Amino acid sequence: MLQNEVAASQGIRIRRRPPSGPPLHYVGPFEFRLQNEGNTPRNILEEIVWHKDVEVSQMKEKKPLLSLKKVIENSPPTRDFVGALKAAHLQTGLPGLIAEVKKASPSRGILRENFDPVEIARAYEKGGAACLSVLTDENSSIKGSFENLEAIRNAGVKCPLLCKEFVIDAWQIYYARIKGADAILLIAAVLPDLDIRYMIKICKMLGLAALVEVHDEREMDRVLGIEGIELIGINNRNLETFEVDISNTKKLLEGERGQMIRKKDIIVVGESGLFTPDDVAYVQEAGVKAVLVGESIVKQSDPGKGISGLFGKDISL
């Protein structure tokens, strides 16, 4: 089966395409590309993933895998991302916070004009964040970078760092590792089951945690059938419409799914749409032990105080 056929059979909504894009046609002195449903991205995430295919292909030529492995051999050990979340949950009785360092988002545009990633990371750490998430995609609607991730790591911030990237190739996991990541995001809407299994094994080999993100029941069922998963993120944002509904978290944790998650001792991370203490309490009651939050705290003049507002209390220790 072709890559997109495998994806379709597993309910994956984000299609992949060849880096070359739609075929080039020649008519006399003219050349053009035919745009149709098959070669035009259907939503923002698909557009980002298609661009990522081209970007990663170019980066792999400049930095071959062998060179990355040599750098990793001399790199310091990673920090315990999962352990930090568990410790925060035990110490506070609240979900461990993964605070997101982000300048912009596709749905909200620019979130913070005076964006200093290191300053924000330090404020998060001081405010009680267990871990940090750093956007690394350089898409114009996201404005992340690996330089931000590397700068935060080199600044002496002690919180474990999640590389928030659109991973489509195992090479990216090695690259994230040399840039200072302690964990990486894997999106079930983008990756077939075999890729997720393979990438989780690579993460374990490199000492990285893998946060596997799901959006609906079918993705959750797929992921629960994969061995070795420690972290599942439930994104409450609809991939097509970008609308947010935090009841999605509760829906995906009800019944047998919730029982299986508890049996496997998987930490569930609530993502998107969390702005108030009531929101946090709602997803915690549903079964999450960690939350990933960006917009509601990064927009505050003091992001550290934004954390207190999110939880309704000071969670710094």
What class, spelled out in words, does domain 68-311 have in CATH? Answer: alpha beta
- Strands in the chain per DSSP E: 24-27, 30-33, 96-101, 104-105, 109-110, 131-135, 161-164, 183-187, 209-214, 231-235, 267-271, 290-293
Which two structure tokens, joined as six digits, stand for 146? 């690996």
**Residue of 144, 94, 139, 113 lying closest to 281 (CA atoms):** 94
Number of Cβ within 10 Å of residue 58's Cβ equals: 10
Q: Burial, 41: exposed, middle or buried (Cβ in 10 Å; 0-12, 13-18, 19+)?
A: middle
pLDDT tens digits, one per residue of 38-82: 567 777 778 888 889 889 999 999 999 999 999 999 999 999 999
Amino acid at 18: P
State the DSSP H helix or E strand holding residue 281, giving kind and residue range, or none if neither. helix 277-286
Residue pair 217/242 in contact by the 8 Å Cβ criterion: no
The lowest-confidence range among 142-151, 177-186, 270-279 is 142-151
Residue pair 78/206 in contact by the 8 Å Cβ criterion: yes
Quick one: residue 154, left, alpha or beta (phi over 0 = left, psi -120 to 50 = alpha)?
alpha
Task: Give CA–CA dist 178/76, Å, rounded.
Answer: 10
In sequence order, what are the residues at sequence separation of 6 or more whose Cβ sits closer than 8 angstroms to the Cβ of residue 133? 98, 99, 100, 101, 102, 161, 162, 164, 185, 292, 294
pLDDT at 13: 62
HSE of 307, CA atoms in CB hemisphere, 13 A: 29
**pLDDT above 90 for 5:** no
Number of Cβ within 10 Å of residue 90's Cβ equals: 10
pLDDT at 43: 73
pLDDT at 10: 60
In this prediction, what percent of the chain has a pLDDT beyond 70? 86
Distance of CA 38 to the CA centre of its chain: 27
pLDDT at 104: 76
Task: Give CA–CA dist 178/167, Å, rounded.
Answer: 15
pLDDT at 1: 47
**pLDDT band of 142, cuts 50, 70, 90:** confident
Residue pair 293/310 in contact by the 8 Å Cβ criterion: yes
Instruction: Write down the pTM of the prediction.
Output: 0.89
217 vs 37, higher pLDDT: 217
In sequence order, what are the residues at sequence separation of 6 or more whose Cβ sits closer than 8 angstroms to the Cβ of residue 198? 170
Taking the domains of the chain in order of start, what are their residue ranges?
68-311
* Three-state SS at 271: strand
Task: Give CA–CA dist 289/94, Å, rounded.
Answer: 7
Q: Burial, 4: exposed, middle or buried (Cβ in 10 Å; 0-12, 13-18, 19+)?
A: middle
Which two structure tokens, joined as six digits, stand for 281? 């309490």
- Identify the DSSP state of 183: E
